Structure 1
Amino acid sequence: MIHSATLTAILFIAATTYLTRILGYVLLKNKTLSNKQRQILEVVPGCVLISVIAPYFVRDNPADLTAIAIALLAASRFSLLPTVAVSMASAAVLRLALA
């Protein structure tokens, strides 16, 4: 069962990530962006997400550390959506297996 605090945190992180992406486009909608600027806008939500959740995972929990390694491997080979799916699944399975 998921704790209400965990669910709230997930929802706030998702909203922050989404708003970061949308606000970038809304604020810059009348501007002509270079390719480099567009690439930066695409990366910002992921950076926000990582900065929010990274401190939680930098602990000595073997399941979380292994899930991070799997996520990094997935990120080097897949696009964002498959990486998120693999990361979430690996974290869930490892937490259950190593609990």
Structure 2
Amino acid sequence: MSKERARRRAERTAVLEKEKAVRARRVARRSFVTKATRSLKPRFGRDGRIYHRSLRQRIGIVAVTVIALVAIWSLIPELALRIILTAIIVLAVPALVVVVLGRRAS
């Protein structure tokens, strides 16, 4: 009788160990997937932006852009050239901001 109980207990513990191993693998896989997805997502600040610029920097970016646009529209007589230069400025300003000020997250 005691041998029978010991055999059943051994079977139960073997089944429990298998279930525990399966659970541990699932948890490890889930944590790996969670870490991987977190590392791929960009980290946003409190206001929802990834990279932050100070108020002074943002004002400077807008001021330089507006001064360049005013200069183009007041000094260049041809309308087609004005439109082309305005499009170039609109497309180039974000790249220039990144090159000059960097992509730091503060």
TM-score (norm 1): 0.40
Greater C-alpha Rg: 2
